[in-house]
Chains A and B, each alone.
Chain A
């Protein structure tokens, strides 16, 4: 199963954009890139996913490198409620998610 690599932690000021990177150099052509986040004392929640093209939804944007070996989750205006652990996962058609250690995002007021 392909793995992903993320920084352990990042900090952002409230109301500023946040770029959360993820490396997935062993991604295969059919793997989707999924992002989830886990708020304190909750189960993970879906954020966004993509295959090749950049994606936007109400929560975030996903920028995927042309060679697909990396991607970046973009929170356009971080709020205190965005403080969470963010996981980047490769989805190959089965729900056997391989979670890495994720990035703990701290948002400063």
Chain B
């Protein structure tokens, strides 16, 4: 069974640009969550989608948004990038008690 895949793995953007990250969950999983990991703040929950609906949201500004498609694939978008958005963005999928995390997308904002 293939694991959670995230694309791209690495990304470099400049301030003010926008970025879209993609996550393909494990087949059959309908819940997809997104997390931001930085050295200073650790792992922070962004949002969770289930059957194309946002079910939970963390404390991030509106520049961070996401969506989920009918095949459970999910994307997150960050608009008007700031230097502080440089982080590892992790996606996780779940169908029960256990979350399966992808390898992450490393975003660097210059």
Interface residues on B, range: 20 to 34
Which of B48, B90, B100, B102 is within 8 Å of A96, CB to CB?
Answer: B48
Please tell me if the beta carbons of B101 and A91 are within 8 angstroms of each other in the complex.
no
Task: Scan residues 57-102 of chain B and give those whose CB is less than 8 A from a CB of chain A.
Answer: 58, 90, 92, 94, 97-102
Q: How far is the CB of B97 from chain A (nearest CB, A)?
A: 6
Q: Is the interface of A mostly helix, strand, loop or mixed?
A: loop
Which of B48, B102, B103 is within 8 Å of A95, CB to CB?
Answer: B48
Residues of B within 8 A of A32 (CB): 97
A96 with B98, Cβ < 8 A, contacts A43-B104, A44-B90, A101-B42 known: no
Among A49, A94, A98, the most chain B Cβ lie within 10 Å of the Cβ of A94
Residues of A within 8 A of B4 (CB): 43
Q: How far is the CB of A89 from chain B (nearest CB, A)?
A: 9
Bound Cα distance from A99 to B35, whole angstroms? 10
Please tell me if the beta carbons of B102 and A43 are within 8 angstroms of each other in the complex.
yes
A94 with B56, Cβ < 8 A, contacts A43-B92, A44-B43, A99-B44 known: yes
Bound Cα distance from A32 to B96, whole angstroms? 12
Q: Which residues of B contact A (CB under 8 A)?
A: 4, 31, 33, 35, 42-45, 48, 55-56, 58, 90, 92, 94, 97-104
Q: Which residues of A contact B (CB under 8 A)?
A: 32, 34, 36, 42-46, 49, 87, 91, 94-102
